[in-house]
Amino acid sequence: MQERQKKPKISLILESFTQLEKAYTDLKKNLSCVREDFVENKLLQDKVRVDFNLAFESCMRVCRHLSTVYNIKTTSKDCLQKVGEFVGLSQVEDLGELSQFYIKHRDLKEALPPEELYDFLSRSLHLFKDYAKAVVEFIKKETNNPLLIDFELLNEKARHIKESLKKIDFVLSQGFEEFSKTPMYYDRVKYFYQVAYDSLFDICKHLAPKFGVKKFGDDCLSKLVEVGVIPQEYYMDIFRMTNLKNRLISTWEVSPEELYRSLVEVRDKIEPVVREISKSLKSLLESRQKPQG
């Protein structure tokens, strides 16, 4: 039997580099002060060391993954260097120095002269950004996926939604009287609604940046309505979905009657919302494939 070819996990890469971006932003901010001020500020030094470790470990997560996918033999000492070279990064020796610095100083309990920390990161911080950019560009070309859309993730989440809605449908089909006197039904639909909503939210979270939505939180689905990915007619449905999810995970108790009624209201709106997102994604991909005039 032919061995299945390994593929890069786009979601893992994007998640890791999102964490890297946060740490990188904090590092850049905290290293923007003059050297003398940094040396005298122990709290700032501690923050920088923590963020440096987070940034490096985020890069290493991607590095270990790609070394497995592309069968690159690496160790913790040379992983960044070898994978960096593999994806076409030029300053691989600098990545080696970055790794050595991390290995030597990753234990936050060990002393590290603030001057050494400041000087090294001031000249080496750009390597994190350069490495991430090189990996992303390589993966885009390697997978022929310029938007870095994780179709496996989307299909998995869509399947979770479909399966969860089937479970909810079964319970609702028993009628409210049966629902109200069967505690197991309440717990069942509460759980499966949260699975369905969280899966829909994960789809939104992954695709929102592709549609130009850069800043979002719990309002991710509403943001997709604002930019036209989801038609305006679904705005109140999404509001009800989100409100129900938030109430179910809060300390407020949702009565069986209210939960049953709310599920009847929103249940038939979830899959249409998924279809609208899918339709907009298809249009986006088609527009990217058209030759530029």
For 151-289, which CATH class? mainly alpha
Residues in the chain with pLDDT values less than 50: 1-4, 293
Q: What residue segments make up the domains of the chain, in order of their start?
A: 10-143, 151-289
Exposure of 80 by Cβ count < 10 A (0-12 exposed, 13-18 middle, 19+ buried)?
buried
Rg, C-alpha atoms of the chain: 24
Q: Tokens standing for 10?
A: 């786009």
pLDDT tens for residues 138-180?
999 999 999 999 999 999 999 999 999 999 999 999 999 999 9
pLDDT tens for residues 47-56?
999 999 999 9
Q: What is the pLDDT of residue 206?
A: 95
Exposure of 173 by Cβ count < 10 A (0-12 exposed, 13-18 middle, 19+ buried)?
exposed
The candidate with the shortest Cα–Cα distance to 238, out of 226, 249, 251, 248, is 226
The candidate with the shortest Cα–Cα distance to 243, out of 199, 177, 193, 283, is 193
Q: What is the pLDDT of residue 195?
A: 97
Q: What is the pLDDT of residue 214?
A: 86
Q: What is the pLDDT of residue 105?
A: 95
For residue 39, count other CB atoms closer than 10 A to its CB.
16
Q: What is the pLDDT of residue 291?
A: 56
What does the mean pLDDT of the chain come to? 94
pTM confidence score: 0.82
Q: Tokens standing for 265?
A: 């209201």
